[in-house]
């Protein structure tokens, strides 16, 4: 089972794995048999890290089989079960969050999404860890309209977020787990740092 799973990886990744293992074997050979060729041995040791980097890259950018993108179509009014992961920012019209998708139309799912909560409908933002079922409009994040401008779509894609969700109605769910003091403290520290960055004169790209 493990072997078949291994060979299911893309060919480029398998090549990197093979090169890395070959480099590890040669580096060990030089290490035990000779005290010379220091530059070559160092290069081979560095080469061994390529498979690890390739596998981490593949694991990060490969969606799970139950990712919500496999269950929905773009620009669709859909019901999602979400959990708030991070408060991003607020503007005159909405609160913006990063959220984890738990289910789509009652079907268990996964993935992250950018969530917009209309400030006309809710005066207070969601707390971190809040879980709820919401119905709203789902669509992909738009690319920049001005050439050379900040590419928000690409920035979010690097965080594995390709869609945004505008809440129309929401029903809160009881929290199943209580957040620990240490984790809550870290989250508050991150929120404080982001607030200070938002007030700073840095460019928007630097604040991200």
Q: What is the DSSP string of 125-160?
A: PPPTT-EEEEEEEEEEPPPPSSTTS--HHHHHHTTT
Residues 188-205: tens digit of each pLDDT? 777 777 777 777 776 655
**Confidence at residue 92, expressed as pLDDT on a 0 to 100 scale:** 80
The alpha carbon of 150 is separated from its chain's Cα centroid by a whole number of angstroms, namely 19
Pairing status of strand 94-104 against strand 107-108: antiparallel
Give the percent of the chain with pLDDT over 70.
60
**Confidence at residue 113, expressed as pLDDT on a 0 to 100 scale:** 94
**Confidence at residue 4, expressed as pLDDT on a 0 to 100 scale:** 44
Nearest to 55 by CA among 2, 14, 110: 14
Q: Is 88 helix (H, G, I), strand (E, B) or coil?
A: strand
Residues 90-136: tens digit of each pLDDT? 888 888 999 999 999 888 988 999 999 988 755 577 888 889 999 99
Q: Please identify which residue in the block is written with the tokens 């900040």.
A: 150
**Confidence at residue 45, expressed as pLDDT on a 0 to 100 scale:** 67
Can you tell me the mean pLDDT for 174-181? 63
The mean pLDDT value of the chain amounts to 76
Give the percent of the chain with pLDDT over 90.
16
**Confidence at residue 5, expressed as pLDDT on a 0 to 100 scale:** 47
Taking 3-state DSSP, the helix, strand and coil percentages for the chain, each rounded to the nearest 5, stand at 40, 30, 30
- What is the dihedral sign for C-alpha 71, 75, 76, 77? positive
**Confidence at residue 12, expressed as pLDDT on a 0 to 100 scale:** 59
Give the model's confidence band at 164: pLDDT under 50 very low, under 70 low, under 90 confident, else very high.
very high
């Amino acid at each position: 089972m493990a072997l078949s799973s291994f060979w299911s990886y893309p060919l480029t990744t398998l090549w990197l794995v093979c090169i890395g293992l070959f480099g590890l074997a040669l580096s060990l050979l030089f290490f035990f048999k000779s005290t010379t060729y220091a530059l070559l041995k160092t290069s081979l040791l560095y080469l061994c890290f390529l498979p690890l980097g390739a596998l981490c890259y593949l694991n990060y950018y490969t969606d799970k089989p139950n990712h919500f993108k496999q269950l929905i179509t773009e620009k669709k009014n859909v019901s999602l079960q979400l959990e708030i992961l991070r408060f991003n920012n607020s503007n005159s019209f909405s609160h913006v969050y990063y959220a984890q998708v738990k289910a789509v139309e009652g079907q268990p799912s996964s993935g992250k999404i950018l969530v917009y909560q209309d400030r006309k409908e809710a005066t207070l933002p969601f707390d971190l860890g809040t879980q709820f079922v919401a119905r709203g409009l789902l669509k992909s994040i738009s690319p920049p309209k001005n050439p050379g401008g900040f590419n928000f779509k690409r920035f979010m894609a690097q965080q594995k977020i390709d869609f945004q969700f505008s809440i129309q109605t929401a029903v809160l769910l009881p929290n199943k787990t209580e957040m620990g003091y240490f984790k809550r403290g870290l989250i508050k520290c991150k929120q404080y740092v982001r607030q200070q960055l938002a007030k700073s004169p840095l460019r928007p790209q630097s604040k991200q």
